[in-house]
A and B are shown apart, each in its own frame.
Chain A
C-alpha cells in the first residue's frame, strides 16, 4: 500500500501535472466564489481542456477544481450573504451575520480551516476506500439510507426557531416545493401545471439562490451603503485559529457526517451540511447565537460539505456509481480516459487511486492557504457601496440558475423563489427549515418507498437501522429523562432553540408581509390538497404528510395575520420595488432576449442605486456586461433569445 502511494506522489510532482492541478484549483476557487456556480460548472468548463492533457494531468485538473469549491464558497457566503453554493447556505446564515458585525475574519478563518479538515478527512477515507469505506457503502442499503434521512429531519428540527407555527409552516412549504416533479413511487408528475420545465422538479441551486441569495441582495440594495458598516478585521487570523481549535472535535464529527453523506449515491453535499449544522445546534449549550452569527455553525457546515464532495468519490471509484453531481462528471472523464472504476480498477491501477488521494489532499491544504491569502483583498468589497457589487452579483446568479436547464424557466424560477424568500424573510418565516425540507423531501420519500417495496416492514429490525435509529432515540430518551427529573423540581422546560436568522436587518417581522405570505401559503396548500386526489395512492404519501400539518398551520397564520394586521408595507416599499424590477427584468429577457434588459439593469443599478458618475458607470458597466456575455458563452448555455423580438 505504501509503495504505490509513494510512486503516485512522485507521479503527481511532475511539473505539468502540478500545473494542471493548480490550474483546476484556481478555476474551482473562482467558481466556488461565484454564487450558483459550483463544482458542476467548474468541472464542465474544464472538461474540454482535460482532453488535451495526459490522463493523470487531466484528472488532477478536475480534482483540483472539485476539492476547492466548498472552501472558496465560504468567501461569498460570509462576505455577501448569498450562498456560494447550495451546500453553504448555513455558512451564509451564520457567517454573514458575523460579517455584519465586523467579524468576517473569524468566520472566514474557521470556515477555511474547517473546509481543509473536511477535505483531509475525505482524502483519508479515500485512502482506506478498499478495506473500510467500500464495505461500509455496501452495508448502506435503502433502509439505512432512509434512516439517515430521518436523522437529518431530526437534526433539522433544531432550526425551527422561536415562532413554532411559522417554523413548521416553512418546513412544510419546503417539503411541498420538494415534491414538485416526478414522484418516486409511481409515475405521477406532481404539481407541474403541464409545464415540461417542472417535470424534473425544482433545482436545488435555484431554490437555494432564490430563498437566500436574491432576498439578501434586495435587502442590501435597498438599505444602501456597504455590507459592513464596521471595519472588517480580516487581517487578524488569530481569532479564527483560536475558534477553530475550540471547535476541533465538532469539525471532525461534522466531517464524518459529511463522509457518510458522500457515501450515499446521488445525494449531494447539501443534505449532509444541514445535518452537520443541526448537529452543531444540538451539541451547543448556548443556542441563542444561532442565526445571529454562531461560529460553531460555520465550523460544522464547512467541515461537512468538503468531506462530502470528496467522499462522493468513494462510490464513484469503487462501484462506478457517482456520489454526487460533480463526481458524475468526473466519472465521465474517467471513462473517457479508458478507466472503468470498480473494485478491479483499484487493484489494477493503484497508482491512479493514490494520485486521486494526493491531489485531493494537496488541494485542500493549498486551496485553504490561497483563500486566506486572497481574502483581505476581497474583504474590501464589503466597504464599497453594495449597489456596485449588486449588478454583477445578480447577473452571476442568473447565469448560475441558467445552468440547470438553459431555458427561461430557470430565470423566472430564480426570481419567483427570490420573491418567496423575500416574503419569508420579512414575514418572519425562517428559511433554513424550508431549504432543509426541500432537500430532504426527495430522499425521504424515495428511500421510504424503496425500503417498503423491497423489505415490507422487516427492515425495522435490521442492525444498521437500529444503530442509526439510536442516534435519534438516545438523545430523545435522555431529554425525556431530564424532563421528568426536572419536572419534579418545577424547573423551566428546555427552551426551544432560537434560530430566527439574520434578524439584524429586520428587527421585527412585517405584519403586512406575514399576512400576504400566510395567504399565499394557504392557497398553495389548498391547491396541493385538491390535486393530491388525482395521484396514484403511492404518490400521495409525501405530499399528504406535508399538507396535513401545513394547511392548518397556514390557516392559523392567516387568522393570526388578519388579527395582527396593520398596514406597514410602507416600511419595505423600497425593497418591494427592487423585487418588482427584478421580476420585470425576467419578463423583458423572456420577451426581447438577454442583452437589452441586462444593459438596462446594469445602468439602473449603477446610475440610480450606486449613483456612479456617467463615465465611470459606462466603463464599469461595459466590463460587467462583457464578462456576463463571455460567461454565457463559456458555459455553453447560449443566452436566452427573446420570444417576441428574437434578439439574444
Chain B
C-alpha cells in the first residue's frame, strides 16, 4: 500500500508540474476510441462505460470517448484488431483484462498482438474474493484443508480468467476438483447457489452486490482475496474486503513461512495482471511521453474527484486508478515472466487441464 501511495504522490507531483506546461487542450476536439475486446454487457465493457465520463472530464481538452466492443476469440480478435489499427497519438486504447494477457504470456496460437510492448495508460484493480458454501463446514481461510465434503470449483477455462484462482489452489496446496466449461462467472455463481458447487471466486462488483448479501444471510463464507501489490509483492490486503487475508497471508499462516518457489512466482505474475491491474488501458508502443503523462495526470485527477470517489465507493468499495511508470513497470514485468515460470505454467496447463499449445 505504501508503494502505491508513493507512486500516487509521484503522479500527483508530476501532474501538477505538467499542467503548468502548455498542455491545455491536448485532446481538444478529438475522439478517443476505447476498444473492449468483449461483449457489450460484460464486466469490462461496463467498467469502461463507468470510467468514460471521468476521462472525458479530466483529460486535457475534454475529448469525446467512444467505447467500442469488439468481441471474438476470447478477446484475441479485438486485441489483434488493435495491433493492426491502433494510432500512436493516444486516441486508440485497448481496455482489457487478463483474458488478453494470459494467451499472450502463454504464447497461444493466433496471438498477433505484442502486449508487452504496449504502453500502459492507466489501470484499475479488478479484485476477486474466494468464498465457500457453509455446507463444507469451513468457517475461515485457516480451515480450508478441513472441509467436510470434497471441494468443487467451477470455472470457464483454465488458460483464461480462471488461471489465477487455479494457481492459488496450487500455492496453498489444497485438494480442489475443478469443473471447467461454464459459460461465464454468472452461471458459476448460480450453480453455487443451487448447491452444485461449493468453492468459488467472484470479481469486485459481483462480489459486493451478490456475494456479500449471501454472506449476510449465512449462505456463503468469504475466505481470502487475491491481494494487492506492496513493494512489488502481492501480499497486501485488498481494499475490496480489508477484513480478509490475502493468499500470501493465508500461506504464511498455514506454513509458518513466506511463500516462495515457482508456484508462488507463477501465481504472483498471473494474479497481479488479473487482480491488481485487472482492467488495463493499453496504448500503441510508440505513444509519446506527453500522452502517457496526460493520462497519468487525468488518472490522479479522477482519483481526487469527489463524484468518482462516491460512485466507486458503491461499485468497487472505493478502488482507485493506477497510472504512471511504476504501474507500467509492474504490468510489463508480469507480462514477461521468466522462462521457468512460463514452462511451469505451460506444463501445469497441459498436464492438469489438457490445454494444447
Contacts and interface: CB of A to CB of B under 8 A. Distances in A.
Interface of A: 40, 43-44, 47, 137-142, 182, 184-189, 194-197, 199-200, 265-266, 315, 319-322, 325, 327-332, 335-336, 338, 340, 342-344, 404-407, 446, 449-450, 453-455, 534, 536, 538, 636
B80 A186 contact: no
A319 B72 contact: no
A319 B190 contact: yes
B232 to A, nearest CB: 31
Contact of A538 (B70, B177, B182, B354): B354
A340 B213 CA distance: 12
Contact of B187 (A194, A266, A453, A538): A266
B209 A450 contact: no
A332 B45 contact: yes
A289 B334 CA distance: 63
B39 interface: yes
B93 to A, nearest CB: 15
Interface in B188-217: 189-191, 193-197, 205-206, 208-210, 213
B73 A320 contact: no
Contacts of B355: 186-187
A330 B41 contact: yes
Contacts of A182: 74, 157
A194 B181 CA distance: 21
Interface string B53-83: 0000000000000101111111011001100
B40 A44 contact: yes
A197 B73 contact: yes
Given A196-B80, A322-B186, A343-B213, A332 B41 contact: yes
Contacts of A538: 354
B80 A319 contact: no
Interface of B: 39-42, 45-46, 49-50, 66, 68-74, 76-77, 80-81, 109-110, 152, 154, 157-159, 177, 179-184, 186-187, 189-191, 193-197, 205-206, 208-210, 213, 311, 314, 349, 353-356
B196 A446 contact: no
B109 A187 contact: no
Contacts of B189: 319-321
- B39, B72, B157: which has the most chain A beta carbons within 10 Å? B72
Nearest to B80: A196
25 contacts: A43-B40, A44-B40, A184-B181, A186-B354, A187-B157, A189-B356, A194-B109, A195-B110, A199-B74, A265-B184, A265-B190, A266-B184, A319-B190, A319-B193, A320-B186, A325-B41, A331-B41, A332-B42, A335-B46, A335-B205, A405-B70, A406-B81, A454-B179, A454-B196, A536-B354
A349 B93 CA distance: 36
Q: 8 closest pairs, A vs B, by CB?
A: A328-B41, A321-B186, A340-B209, A184-B181, A196-B110, A405-B72, A187-B355, A199-B73
Contacts of B68: 636
Given A187-B355, A407-B81, 18 more contacts: A138-B190, A138-B194, A187-B157, A195-B110, A196-B73, A197-B77, A200-B74, A320-B189, A320-B206, A328-B40, A338-B311, A338-B314, A340-B208, A405-B70, A405-B72, A450-B191, A453-B181, A636-B68
Contact of A328 (B39, B152, B177): B39
Nearest to B187: A265
A322 B180 CA distance: 19
Contacts of A196: 72-73, 76-77, 80, 110
Contact of A320 (B191, B194, B210): B210
B158 to A, nearest CB: 6
Contacts of A319: 186, 189-190, 193, 210
Given A320-B186, A321-B187, A338-B314, A332 B73 contact: no
A406 B195 CA distance: 39
Contacts of B81: 406-407
Contacts of A43: 40
A357 B34 CA distance: 34
Contacts of B314: 338
Contacts of A186: 180, 353-355
A187 B102 CA distance: 14
Nearest to A198: B73
